[in-house]
Structure 1
Amino acid sequence: MVTPWLAAFPRTVAPILDEIDSTLGVPLSRIIADGPNAALTATENAQPAIMATSILILRVLEREFGFHTPARVDVTLGHSLGEFAALVAGGYLTFHDALKMVRRRAEVMARCSADASASEGGEFGMVALVCESEAHMRDLIKGIYEFLGLSSAGSKSDSANDLPAVEQVSIANINSKNQIVLSGSIERINTLMTNLRQFGGHDPRHVRLKSDSPFHSPLMKPAEEMMKKLLYEPTEEGKDIITWPGTVPCISNVSARPFKSEDQLKDLLARGCVDTVRWWNSVRYLDQEEKVRRWVGIGPGKVGRNLVGKEVGMKGAVKGGGVWGITSPKEAEEVMRALDDTEHIDEEEEE
């Protein structure tokens, strides 16, 4: 995850790894590099590791390639946990504060999952559903809301919310025009799938995700409450933890629109623990309304890049735009060249 970056850019990367470890008070950089895998995949380590690696790559781009984020980036967004990296890149959170926040959030989420399993038994987690088309997905989402007794995503006053959190099923992510993710009790999710097949005529392909934590569900309510408290506490220097405005607009996972105020940012960032990640809506907004043509994903994986490429109809570079992912030093060089090559094509065509 970070070893190739350390080998290629030691003067930039080594101090960042030291900063990560000193901020968290644990040798996370060693766990990232050497494992063991059980330690790295634990929620309290995996989440800060993923976020930290994303920002490490961004810092390499800035310091080794002369990439000036406020001048070269029009908007930032990140999928689920990636929202924290997007907020750091956009100038709303410091890397130091984001690391500590993500670690505390992950620790509470891990406890939520453990408590649910201990108190109720059974399995909890997430299941991805894949439909044949956008129309089928819209019908499927409607059928899910009807079965759950909800009128729409994030409804707060419907009958389903009277159930204990451990009995609720949520739509955790709307990832694309034909993929969503359910979160909650696996038994309840299976019951929902059975009812959708028998009474709704829906039989989407479904895949159990590796995560055994029901992220973006009511079971994560304690994490939301912790985040609200943390976001309104002053930093160690006595300052507000959020810088407003930032240097680059940032898209909220919850609203699928740019954050409008400091208070809204704090509210929506906390709600992101339990609310649906509206990734598809976010990408459509940027593609169709803001006419974004160049997309760059940074981090240890390419899921976000692949979802964007699928939705906007671009994989790699096209004339005047493209969708790229940076997970390695080699890709960093290639993408920086591609960005330079496509920098002014749209402007030249308009002339």
Structure 2
Amino acid sequence: MRAFVFPGQGSQAVGMGAALAAASTAARAVFQEVDDALGQNLARLMAEGPADDLTLTENAQPAIMANAIAALRVLETDGGIRLVDKADFVAGHSLGEYSALCGAQAFDLATTARLLKLRGQAMQAAVPVGEGAMAALLGADYALAEAICAEAAEGEVCQAANDNGGGQVVISGHKAAVERAMALSKEKGVKRALPLPVSAPFHCALMQPAADAMAEALAKAAIRAPLVPVYANVTAAPVADPDQIRELLVMQVTGTVRWRESVEAMVAAGVTEFVEFGAKVLGPMIKRIAPDATTTSLVTMADIEAFAAGL
């Protein structure tokens, strides 16, 4: 069995998608449709930068999605390999869940782009700059990270935001609480605690205003049943019902990205091969969780052609 997976924030880079667009009309069509939906030249920003503008959450989120969907569309259009024929499940890390839903045709591309633009704006606006923080705990399992967060909170927000597996858990919350957690983690035997260069504390209760904004937007968005089940971040379980998808995407804004459990659940369901679109981020993460799994990343035309030839 095979899962198609889609990366999250942090996988953006100036130049992303440019070579693929030069090689394929299918890729160019994706970037043009996203540009038209957003009323901005996101494709040029992706290709040329500046990096600071691309890194802004409201640009990075639709850009990462567009790049991943472009790779998928090239596989489907130029390679003749359809997701519905070759993938048993899809999943995505944080914003990548929207890419997964788009790939499985639960959302159309224009809707996905507009939702992610709004999601990025709402998440950035939810917490004043400097009040929140995130940190990666390396050498900590999820239970230990939760215990550290609970002890460090002291009445503030401090939560496990991303359970990435392989002993990496990202925590999020009020800046002072996250700093307390980082100091405490050393006492608890965590190998390293690294502050992350992010603009807002994602996937914690401080994101509630963004969750409210997404609830309003998703209530108006057309969602179809996906072509294949989607493993949801907040449940680490497959979902196919449009109303449940809508509800889980709202919960995802403040909830933990249960990536380790999602990968473990897909492996338990019989998945032996994971194919990542648009980046080479999730592959190494998956190998730490499921060493026996096969991982492939499709970023370039050569990647896509080699994968299609091997099927």
The alignment's TM-score, normalised by the length of structure 1, stands at 0.79
Match of 1:294 in 2: 273
Instruction: Give 1:302 deviation, angstroms.
Output: 1.5
Match of 1:7 in 2: 22
- The one of 160, 165, 169 equivalent to 2:158 is 169
Instruction: Give 1:228 deviation, angstroms.
Output: 1.0
Is the Cα contact below 8 Å between 2:233 and 2:262 reproduced in 1? Answer: yes
Match of 1:213 in 2: 200
Instruction: Give 1:91 deviation, angstroms.
Output: 2.0
Match of 1:85 in 2: 99
Match of 2:183 in 1: 194
Is the Cα contact below 8 Å between 2:152 and 2:184 reproduced in 1? Answer: no
Is the Cα contact below 8 Å between 2:58 and 2:121 reproduced in 1? Answer: yes
Match of 1:306 in 2: 284
Match of 2:66 in 1: 52
For residues 70 and 34 of structure 1, the distance between their equivalents in structure 2, rounded to whole angstroms, comes to: 34
- The one of 334, 342, 348 equivalent to 2:306 is 334
Is the Cα contact below 8 Å between 1:137 and 1:179 reproduced in 2? Answer: yes
Does structure 1 residue 180 correspond to structure 2 residue 169? yes
Deviates more, 1:76-85 or 1:88-97: 88-97
Q: Deviations over 1:233-279 (max 9, x none)?
A: 1x5xxxxx111x22111000000001153222111111111100000
Matches within 5 A, 1:1-351: 1-9=16-24, 11-113=25-127, 116-117=128-129, 122=130, 124-131=132-139, 137-138=141-142, 140-144=144-148, 146-147=150-151, 163=155, 167-198=156-187, 201-233=188-220, 235=221, 241-243=222-224, 245-259=225-239, 261-287=241-267, 289-299=268-278, 301-314=279-292, 322-338=294-310, 340=311
Instruction: Give 1:194 deviation, angstroms.
Output: 2.7
Match of 1:153 in 2: none
Q: Aligned in 2, Cα 1:24/1:178: closer, same or farther, shift over 3 Å?
A: same
Helix, strand or coil at the partner of 1:77: strand
Counterpart amino acid of residue 286 in structure 1:
M
Helix, strand or coil at the partner of 1:206: strand
State the identity %: 31
Helix, strand or coil at the partner of 1:44: helix
Q: Aligned in 2, Cα 1:35/1:139: closer, same or farther, shift over 3 Å?
A: closer
Counterpart amino acid of residue 66 in structure 2:
A
Q: Deviations over 1:44-96 (max 9, x none)?
A: 11111001111111111111000111111100000011000110112211111
Q: Which structure has the bigger radius of gyration?
A: 1
Is the Cα contact below 8 Å between 2:30 and 2:69 reproduced in 1? Answer: no
Instruction: Give 1:193 deviation, angstroms.
Output: 2.8
Q: Which runs of 5+ in 2 are unaligned?
A: 1-15
Instruction: Give 1:177 deviation, angstroms.
Output: 3.7
Is the Cα contact below 8 Å between 2:141 and 2:165 reproduced in 1? Answer: no
Helix, strand or coil at the partner of 1:296: strand
Q: Aligned in 2, Cα 1:142/1:227: closer, same or farther, shift over 3 Å?
A: closer
CA RMSD across the alignment: 1.9
Is the Cα contact below 8 Å between 1:216 and 1:276 reproduced in 2? Answer: yes
Q: Aligned in 2, Cα 1:142/1:107: closer, same or farther, shift over 3 Å?
A: closer
Deviates more, 1:15-24 or 1:185-194: 185-194
